[in-house]
A and B are shown apart, each in its own frame.
Chain A
Amino acid sequence: MKFDTPATTNPIDQMKVVGKPIPRIDGYLKVTGQAKYAYEWHDASTPYAYGYPVGASIARGRITSMDIAAAEKAPGVLAVVTTLAVGERKKGKFNTAKLFGGDEVQHYHQAIAVVVAETFEQARAAAALVKVDYAEEKGAFDLKEAMKTADKPADSQQPDTSVGDFDAAIGSAAITLDEAYSTPDQSHAMMEPHASIAAWNGDEVTVWTSSQMIDWWRADLATTLDIDKEKIHLMSPFIGGGFGGKLFLRSDAVLAVLGAQAAKRPVKVALPRPFMINNTTHRPATIQRIRIGAERDGKITAIAHESWSGDQPGGQLEAAVAQTRLLYAGANRMTAMRLATLNLPEGNAMRAPGEAPGLMALEIAMDEMAEKLGLDPIEFRILNDTQVDPEKPERPFSHRNLIGCLKLGAETFGWSNRGKPGARREGNWLIGQGVAVAFRNNMMLPSGARVRLDRQGIATVETDMTDIGTGSYTIIAQTAAEMLGLPMDRVAVQLGDSRFPVSAGSGGQFGANSSTSGVYAACVKLREAVAAKLGFNSDDVVFENGEVRSGNRSVPLTEAVGDEGLVGEDTMTWGDLTQTHQQSTFGAHFVEVGVDVATGESRVRRMLAVCAAGRILNPITARSQVIGAMTMGVGGALSEELAVDTRRGFFVNHDLAGYEVAVHADIPHQDVIFMDETDPMSSPMKAKGVGELGLCGVSAAIANAIYNASGVRVRHYPLTLDKLIGKLPDVA
């Protein structure tokens, strides 16, 4: 099915199941420990062996020799596979740095060997016996230095945009702002480490892994190992978090497959936590410059956003200016992005790539600008709202209710009680409130599904879609139940298996809308098959209460599908509605913080997000996506930073003690409100994504609240106490 005209009334609009707060259907498995993650697939008769990775101890250079004699002789060792023995390999389409193979070291902790042994303990001990000699080469590790020689990347990455005459407009603007901001390297730090089990059977291999994108992984594994994609069976039904870190094939899968081949045994490989951060990808740091010019009435006349980021050679930009092209009005505007070459580990997508760090900067700038104008920051944003693409005014937003989010949020949060910077104090706490806008584009990817309706009246949905905690199992079941007129307990969902139709996968907040649309398409096919079998006119056919009706005829589905059952399979593809209309999601984050007047520690006291993201398919799982993102935004604002050792070229704090994500004590009760809306331009589901929207702007709202609390403006994340205490009131 191709979605190329706006949705009209369809069975989803009944909202008997879709849109209802139905608890996760896989919840009981997760709370009892019965959900099996990649490393946990177990068969009693299978002699699993354990692989343990060895990582490069330098950041850049070549391996001149590897001595594996001691490792091979160590107790229990079955095989040692080295990057030299494996030799140069083709790189997966989605990988920037190579995962394994050849003598070149491109970054610290790049995988250079896997040691396979009878037990985990033996493999780990033997891995420490591998001796490596290197010819080390100098590298670039410091973005501040490297930005001086940063390049303009290919036009496909849209490095430069310009509309009107920015220079003239900023020159003549009554009020202007010109500030620099920075965001640090961040780590996905999902709770389940990257892990895979590989089992060969003849020339075919089954890999249980932890992947957000089954088909991408399968293709890239085939490329990397130079084997036929059809010979690879990938399984990833439960994923312990991803946030973009499991979008692309990782080394654990490659090492498990090669280790299993060498050891002639099924092999399990998990990346040790202290190895993960430098071995895998991260969100790249940015340095940003924002200039805004406005008339005294608050109308923006000029806006410019420039960003510098770094990556491995051949890598990509962190597109931090993306939202600035669309979020606020202003006739004269420009954006520019430059890419520096860095020899740190690969930078790549992490939850809301582009917008997350971009809004961390832009939404502080908007707060600063509002203050310069003497305007309330909400009023300033409302004044500059736009219902069209500011670069192409002929191109409207499909649906945009940012103003509604801001107004409802302000009322709910008690925004009118906000005082002047540094004005409110309770004991040692300086209290302040901040607001920031959330904005993230709505993307759709082709997504397929197969729905089988059997004689017992059970519909089974099969798609290679993944559930990384997002609630895919549940919303897919809701979609099928709504389309087929079945109760939830008559729908089974199977995900994360490469034998199923290729789906959108999980990423870019495209998963929910795309994958349920694919299920919608398959259900339409199935409904047609049922109608055809019964000789019904498919135009007026109704699926309800386990029956199919047309005119005055009504047949139970169990009977209608016959002994063999019926199958519908289809893939949703997308027309040009995203070109003719700008499709985005919107929100407003409200935060209250306390800043300890003595120590400068900032703690979040209250949080509210108001989101406008089309139809909400399940308010429970959607809310969880948003509170989870708000929590990640707290970490991003207050503590998360991969510390770069610019001499030795690696992230120093490479474990969960050193890289501080938010803990329970950092997070207050969180409120989320969804605007009651649909977006018929987005899909037959009329839904959009929320999982990344929820993160966008949170950190800036916190930064703005800290300013309101303390009077100290910090433009460099994270807002740790050392950036505040020198400017806080004297306490001695």
Chain B
Amino acid sequence: MRAFTYERASTIEAAAASAASHPSTRFIAGGTNLLDLMKLEIEVPTHLIDVNGLGLDTIEKTPEGGLRIGALVRNTDLAADKTVRRDYGLLSRALLAGASGQLRNKATTAGNLLQRTRCPYFYDTNQPCNKRQPGSGCSAIEGFSRQLGIVGVSDSCIATHPSDMAIALRALDAVVETVKPDGRRHAVPIAEFHRLPGNTPHIETVLEQGEFITGVVLPAPLGGRHIYRKVRDRASYAFALISVGAVIQPDGTGRVAAGGVAHRPWRVEAADVALPQGARPATAALLADARPTEHNRFKIDLVERTLGAVIAEAKG
């Protein structure tokens, strides 16, 4: 870990301005992924802005009937919130499927969105990785890629986004609220928040340097059955091989998003449309143009079978 200077932010605007003025700054909240990466010198900030004192830790109803979730609401608290449990079960379920009790106690809503990939080559600084070191090459495409992406991948990168929470937010059409370094407020639909790797896999979101996430807004509740099914080798405390998050209405219509398959939470409009026809057509739409490796080809079948189980559960 390289040495860094440290400040505790007093206001959001000051935090954003300070971050924009130091080129190598990171905000730190829960720190559960950032410090992990700093120890390995994958993240090398020279300045840390501790934002834990900024509040932003409440969950409030919006005038539109939705919920505004503060950026610093801890994953545990978000999952345990009564309204979230009742009206946005998918979000509770996704959060609880992730990490461990200890990590959820620290991890925040904004930090969870900004998690970086768990690709093992990204984590090993001796190995080429376009995400860590642009232009160095991708070790994973012809290497060990069992957990990695099958759709939306590029020749530069097949990493996946590791968040469970983000899959739920994607299915729920959340909006990410930010403050730009110049103080302007901004709102980004979750669909546009994370980028595909393309030939710039090191750029993972649409955030500008210093842009600060203040919260996430959920639209009014959708009703229906909320199901998050995470598939992994061991029963807990593991990243998803794949996951399926769905909200399914009594008439069989609904929405579906998948995790563990792409560089961002993966949702395709055509898949939602095909959902009433069953798992096979919905998966065909969801994973159209999939480009798996020999190690992760099984994920296509796995998504379809898992979605089949999710649909059956929703009916049951």
Contacts and interface: CB of A to CB of B under 8 A. Distances in A.
Which secondary structure dominates chain A's binding surface?
A: loop
A126 to B, nearest CB: 10
Nearest to A428: B309
Contact of B302 (A654, A658, A721): A721
B233 A732 contact: no
Interface string A210-245: 000000000000000000000000000000000000
Contacts of A599: 229, 231, 302, 305-306, 309
A231 B146 CA distance: 50
Contacts of A600: 302, 305
B231 A647 contact: no
B291 interface: no
Contacts of A654: 120, 124
A600 B302 CA distance: 9
A345 B209 CA distance: 42
B228 interface: no
Given A601-B231, A660-B238, A274 B143 contact: no
Contacts of A658: 120, 123
A318 B120 CA distance: 28
Contacts of A645: 139, 143-144
B118 interface: yes
Which secondary structure dominates chain B's binding surface?
A: loop
A663 B237 contact: yes
B199 interface: no
A657 interface: yes
A57 B125 CA distance: 9
Interface in B234-267: 234-239, 241
Contact of A128 (B41, B231, B241, B302): B41
Given A124-B1, A125-B3, A599-B305, A647 B234 contact: no
A732 B127 contact: no
B124 A657 contact: no
Nearest to B279: A732
Contacts of A128: 2, 41
Nearest to B118: A657
Interface string A639-677: 100011101100011110110111111100000000000
A85 B26 CA distance: 39
Nearest to A655: B123
A721 B144 contact: no
A639 B144 contact: no
A274 B236 contact: no
B305 A648 contact: no
B301 A124 contact: no
A527 B144 CA distance: 62
A60 to B, nearest CB: 14
Contacts of B143: 645, 647-648, 652
A638 B41 contact: no
Contacts of A728: 305
Contacts of B40: 274
Contacts of B2: 125, 128
Nearest to A127: B41
A653 B124 CA distance: 10
A603 interface: yes
A639 B233 contact: yes
Given A645-B143, A652-B120, A663 B235 contact: yes
A705 to B, nearest CB: 16
Given A645-B144, A648-B143, A725-B302, A666 B3 contact: no
A652 B144 contact: yes
A58 B234 CA distance: 31
Interface string A701-732: 00000000000000000101110011010011
B209 to A, nearest CB: 24
A598 interface: yes
A652 B304 CA distance: 28
A575 to B, nearest CB: 46
A662 B127 contact: no
Most buried by A among B234, B236, B237, B312: B234
Interface string B216-240: 0000000000000101111111110
Contacts of A722: 146, 298, 302
Contact of B144 (A75, A596, A643, A655): A643
A57 B139 CA distance: 14
Interface string B142-172: 1110100000000000000000000000000
Nearest to B309: A598
Interface in A606-660: 635, 638-639, 643-645, 647-648, 652-655, 657-658, 660
A732 B120 contact: no
B239 A639 contact: no
B66 interface: no
B134 interface: no
A654 B121 CA distance: 10
A58 B238 CA distance: 29
A594 B39 CA distance: 39
B203 to A, nearest CB: 24
A570 B41 CA distance: 53
A718 B306 CA distance: 21
Given A121-B1, A125-B3, A732-B304, A663 B236 contact: yes
Contacts of A721: 231, 233, 241, 298, 302
Given A652-B121, A722-B298, A731 B308 contact: yes
15 contacts: A108-B126, A598-B309, A599-B306, A638-B233, A648-B139, A652-B121, A653-B120, A654-B124, A658-B120, A660-B233, A663-B238, A720-B233, A725-B298, A725-B302, A731-B312
Closest 8 CB pairs of A and B: A598-B309, A57-B126, A665-B236, A665-B235, A722-B298, A639-B233, A643-B144, A652-B144
Interface of A: 57-58, 75, 108, 121, 124-125, 128, 274, 428, 596, 598-601, 603, 635, 638-639, 643-645, 647-648, 652-655, 657-658, 660-666, 718, 720-722, 725-726, 728, 731-732
